[in-house]
Structure 1
Amino acid sequence: MAAQSLTPSWLKRKAYFWVTFILFAVSVAAHWYFGWKDFSSEQLAHGQPIIVGDYVNQMMRETFENWQSEFLQLIWQVVGLSLLWYCGSPQSKEGDDRREKKLDFIIRRLDPENAEALLKEWEQKYPCK
């Protein structure tokens, strides 16, 4: 009899989501907690009342500013990489084709008798996408 897993299957299937969600929730909670500590100490230092509405407005602004800068960085990384890939940078498909031609040449030089058979076998095992 196989041992039953203690982890429910839905949790295991969505583990990446749950880990990401927990990290996100903890980081947002910590951001808001330490923001509250900073906001309240600053208000008290200036002799002003602590108004929760002002705190929420300030933290929402700071949170969205942070997210905006992160999304802009991510968009540039995706778009920039796509453009470089398309334009033929060393990371593009053309670079792979060139490398593959060089390797084929080396294989044919090292083992001329078996090279074609070996290359055909590899082509069947690892077809081009």
Structure 2
Amino acid sequence: MSKKSFFYRNSLSIVVLLLMAACLTGQFFTGMSTENKELAEEGQTALTVGEYFHSGHFIQATFENWESEFLQMMLYIILTVKLRQKGSSESKSLDGEEEVDKDPVPHKNAPWPVRKGGIWLKIYQHSLSLAFGILFLISFILHFYGSLKEYNTEQMAKKLSVSTAQEYFTNSRFWFESLQNWQSEFLAVASIVLLSIWLREKGSPESKPVDMPHNETP
């Protein structure tokens, strides 16, 4: 068997990361253009690239979305441990134990936490959800920081009083930004869970085999 190229072996992550980088670049420059247009209308100086990179407008917009994505993945991973959806390719089987439910067995090729055992194994057994939880928390904090910074910038431009972090945490604006994204992420998860019961995509691991009956769970 011929050795596969680096791109072939990692093409999924490479393509997705490139798409993400392209969209983030587009977001940055279109966001800067939008912000500078609003500043010009208010008679204020336009932001440079460096200034916009550190602005509340860019930080808030970026991490507001990242926060919801990481929350979605964390909860989806945790919920699919115990919850089921009959017929969905995103659900475990309704009956019996699956490979992912079995206790890990140490062997020479196992990840080192499995071979080490103890507390390292306990952490490693939940490391995927923990990682997404940490990423969610970091994004949530940065979203809050960016949103507060943008809000206070707007308040100062209007010659109104600014908010402290404690005051802004209960501001409906911040929670509106979060909840509008959270609900869309949960809708997306519900869509793939339910649509994969009846619809198929040949060759995709996210789909059931094309000839599998609708009521069967892989």
TM bracket, shorter-chain basis? 0.5 to 0.7
Q: How big is the shift at 1:29?
A: 1.0
1:95 is aligned to: 211
CA contact (8 A) 2:155 2:161 kept: yes
2:182 is aligned to: 67
Picking from 110, 120, 139, the partner of 1:8 is 120
Picking from 40, 43, 50, the partner of 2:155 is 43
2:193 is aligned to: 78
Tell me the distance in 1 between the aligned counterparts of 2:208 and 2:129. 30
2:7 is aligned to: none
Q: How big is the shift at 1:9?
A: 2.3
Look up the equivalent residue of 2:137 and give its one-letter code: A
Q: How big is the shift at 1:5?
A: 4.1
Asked which structure has the greater RCO (Cα within 8 Å, sep 6+), the reply is 2
Picking from 6, 23, 27, the partner of 2:139 is 27
Q: How big is the shift at 1:74?
A: 1.8
Tell me the distance in 2 between the aligned counterparts of 1:17 and 1:92. 25
Tell me the distance in 1 between the aligned counterparts of 2:208 and 2:168. 50
Look up the equivalent residue of 2:121 and give its one-letter code: S
Tell me the distance in 2 between the aligned counterparts of 1:26 and 1:84. 36
Q: What TM-score does the superposition give when structure 1 sets the normalisation length?
A: 0.58
SS state at 2:211 partner: helix
1:23 to 1:71, Cα distance in 2 relative to 1, 3 A: same
1:93 to 1:5, Cα distance in 2 relative to 1, 3 A: closer
1:37 to 1:51, Cα distance in 2 relative to 1, 3 A: closer
Look up the equivalent residue of 1:12 and give its one-letter code: Y
Deviations 1:16-42, CA, capped at 9 Å, x for gaps:
121111111111111111111111101
Report the number of matched residues.
92
Tell me the distance in 1 between the aligned counterparts of 2:172 and 2:210. 51
1:22 to 1:5, Cα distance in 2 relative to 1, 3 A: same
RMSD: 2.9
SS state at 2:145 partner: helix
Q: Percent of counterpart pairs with the same letter?
A: 22
Look up the equivalent residue of 2:174 and give its one-letter code: M
SS state at 2:124 partner: helix
In our comparison, the structure showing a higher alpha carbon Rg is 1
Q: What TM-score does the superposition give when structure 2 sets the normalisation length?
A: 0.36
Tell me the distance in 1 between the aligned counterparts of 2:149 and 2:193. 36
